[in-house]
Structure 1
Amino acid sequence: MKITVYGGGSWGTAIARLLANNKHEVKFYIRNKDIVDEINSKHKNSKYLPDVDLGDLTALNDPDRALEDIDMLVMAVPTSAFRKVLTNIKDKIDKKVIILNLAKGIENESLDRISEISKEILPDNPFAVLSGPSHAEEVGKDIPTAVAVSSENSDVAKEVQHAFASKYFRVYTNPDLLGVELCGALKNIIALAAGMADGLGFGDNTIAALATRGIYEISKLGVKTGAKMQTFNGLAGIGDLIVTCTSMHSRNRRAGVLIGKGIAVEEANKQIGQVVEGIKTTKSAYELSKKYDVSMPITAKLYEVLYEGLDPKEAVTSLMTREYKEEIEEIFLI
């Protein structure tokens, strides 16, 4: 296939390398010319993926050329930039081009998922999302990884599946687009909370409790909005939650650790050096929980920490001393 990867962060770089290794005709667009020059001369992206050899992958700095005569556009830009980027390039994309999203978030202003933004701007283009436990640092080194691809069009999902699949990268299809998108976005909230618990000096017990109650909490919102419970139990849900809550490759977990140690949110974001999707997604999820009248205590307390200045220790105390409940609640009886 003729595929353009649009965005040169760590995940975009790892995916561009994967697709090139799969023998596709890859055009890798990066806005930063210094990074383009480094990739083309040294086969490295030292800013975002320093330990990965990019082989024969090349990059370019010309967006018009990057969008010419392609079958698929892989969008590797942050959620907050997706609408602007797609609006700027919409007139340069043929209607047959598949739009594949890699970002995991929910737009703050509209509370739209990425698929909804894409449908608004490019209503005729097929859309798919790739999600699951997949750190760029490991995919870039061919460490075995399994992910899910979802689209409202099963043929599109299968086309993406075959384009990405390799002996190191296994791709499953999942027809629940809403669920896959929500899983990818909401698990970052729980990863932030897990990182904060670590930063506060708590242990494995705390992380396990947050992850377990976290998947319950985000699946409640998912089911209420029409997603399938099974998706939250799969790669896009519990799979991605496990890796983001436990690995220091996770930007969200690392940011949470810094915040738990008392570092201000803005400074923590700056130290990570890349977009921490969970910070903005917490606000979106908090607003969605109110819109759909779903109790999300972890999300609510994290929102207070990030946006209202609540001390992380007080947030933990508040969660631990909530009204006593049954563990197996209504969602698991659906």
Structure 2
Amino acid sequence: MARVTVFGAGAMGTAFAMHSARAGLPTSLWANEHDLAAYAAMREERKHPLLPEHLPDGVELRGPNELEAAARDVAIAVLAANSAGARSLASMVREHVAGARVAVSVAKGLEPTTGKRMSQVYGEELSGVDVVVVGGPCLARELAEGLPTAAVWAASMVSVAEDAGKPFDDRRYQLSFSDDVVGVELCSMMKNVAAIGLGLLDGLGKSTGIGYQNAKAALFTRAAHEIVTLVTELGGRSETAMGLAGIGDQLVTSLGGRNRLYGELVGTGDPPDDTLRELEAGGLTVEGVESTRHVRRLASECGVQLPYHDAIHRVLFDGARPLEVLEVLR
């Protein structure tokens, strides 16, 4: 039976460790120095502060000084850093996962300093280990609760993704497999930007009680088309963008989650920079902010027009009013 170690005890890493243990796999969860508050809470109560359920007994919790023990005999290394911390995490665990069969990335974004996808970052840092990326509609809270979830696992060959994912595939976590790594990773990045935009409408309507349901539907559709446009320009497949990794993840992220929340707060009039700092101080990573910059850059390099994503960029970085997103409904 494959031994699983989840490196990183944020909300998603912890939720995945919980599912892994429930699936009957020997599972370790390693908290690094960035996870100290969560680690302290889990040591005391066996419960992550951002998740509703306690850790199953099958999760072996390890602290920052127990990396070697956490990684012992690991076959499936789950890398649960966010996109900004992926390279740092890889450098920390590199020698400990050299014998692993596969490294699985759950981050959804591009590396801020280089714009590289997570598969590229981990491929550079963990030579000799196959890399699998995870996409699709998977909120950490629901995964931790054992609620039905569907996800896409992608690798350079479908067989690699299947070999890595099959041990986790069950009725609570139903998997599809793909070799469209580019498409899955770009969809996973862009859906966070789309969610910020719909959150802006939630914020705009908060004081007036206006739901903007028609506008939300129009912008959701506009975002889906723009995701297809950029994904296909960069070598991904349209069916990936119109599937679980794209429109599926876009939907769940737009209904709830930290990126939508950030958009809502900005939509009520809170300054974007201050709002981001406050959320991050509370332990919430809002990857969609940096992803908004990446989408603008990639669209410019490809020579494509993405009016909805561009409107979000103007609101976050150019001082535009949140109402501007209502000008790109068609």
Q: TM-score, normalised by structure 1?
A: 0.90
Q: How many Å apart are 1:279 and its aligned residue?
A: 0.5
Aligned to 1:285, which of 295, 301, 314? 295
Q: Letter of the 1:211 partner, please give it.
A: F
Q: Runs of 5+ in structure 1 lacking a partner?
A: 321-326, 328-334
Q: Letter of the 2:303 partner, please give it.
A: D
Q: Do the aligned residues in 1 keep the contact of 2:74 with 2:100 (CA within 8 Å)?
A: no
- State the partner residue of 2:208: none
- State the partner residue of 1:59: 61
Q: Runs of 5+ in structure 2 lacking a partner?
A: 206-210
Distance of 2:53 and 2:273 partners within structure 1 = 29
Q: Does 1:206 align with 2:215?
A: yes
Deviations 1:161-185 (A, max 9, x none): 2121122111111221111111111
Q: Which moved more, 1:155-164 or 1:280-289?
A: 155-164
Specify whether residues 287 and 139 from structure 1 end up closer, same or farther in structure 2 by C-alpha distance, changes over 3 A only: same
Distance of 1:118 and 1:38 partners within structure 2 = 29
Q: What SS is found at the alignment partner of 1:301?
A: helix
Q: What SS is found at the alignment partner of 2:194?
A: helix
- State the partner residue of 2:258: 251
Q: How many Å apart are 1:37 and its aligned residue?
A: 4.1
Q: What SS is found at the alignment partner of 2:29?
A: strand
Q: How many Å apart are 1:53 and its aligned residue?
A: 2.2
Q: How does 1:1-334 map to 2 (within 5 A)?
A: 1-31=2-32, 32-46=35-49, 48-49=50-51, 51-56=52-57, 57-61=59-63, 62-201=66-205, 202-247=211-256, 250-272=257-279, 273=282, 274-313=284-323, 315-316=324-325, 318-319=327-328
Q: How many Å apart are 1:92 and its aligned residue?
A: 2.7
Q: Which moved more, 1:220-229 or 1:84-93?
A: 84-93
Distance of 1:290 and 1:123 partners within structure 2 = 32
Distance of 2:326 and 2:243 partners within structure 1 = 31
Distance of 2:322 and 2:41 partners within structure 1 = 41
Q: Do the aligned residues in 1 keep the contact of 2:21 with 2:56 (CA within 8 Å)?
A: no
Q: Letter of the 2:31 partner, please give it.
A: I
Q: Do the aligned residues in 2 keep the contact of 1:4 with 1:72 (CA within 8 Å)?
A: yes
Specify whether residues 54 and 317 from structure 1 end up closer, same or farther in structure 2 by C-alpha distance, changes over 3 A only: closer
Q: What SS is found at the alignment partner of 2:84?
A: helix
Give aligned pairs, total.
316
Distance of 1:94 and 1:220 partners within structure 2 = 38
Identity of paired residues, percent?
A: 29
Q: What SS is found at the alignment partner of 1:171?
A: strand
Deviations 1:40-81 (A, max 9, x none): 4422112x21x2122212311122322232111111111011
Q: Which moved more, 1:37-46 or 1:277-286?
A: 37-46
Q: Do the aligned residues in 1 keep the contact of 2:312 with 2:325 (CA within 8 Å)?
A: no
Q: How many Å apart are 1:154 and its aligned residue?
A: 2.2
Distance of 1:254 and 1:164 partners within structure 2 = 30
Q: RMSD of the TM alignment (CA)?
A: 1.6
Q: Letter of the 1:261 partner, please give it.
A: T
Q: TM-score, normalised by structure 2?
A: 0.91
Q: Do the aligned residues in 1 keep the contact of 2:3 with 2:73 (CA within 8 Å)?
A: yes
Structure 1 residue ranges (4+ consecutive) displaced by more than 6 angstroms after TM superposition: none
Distance of 2:99 and 2:119 partners within structure 1 = 16
Q: How many Å apart are 1:257 and its aligned residue?
A: 0.2
Distance of 2:326 and 2:212 partners within structure 1 = 15
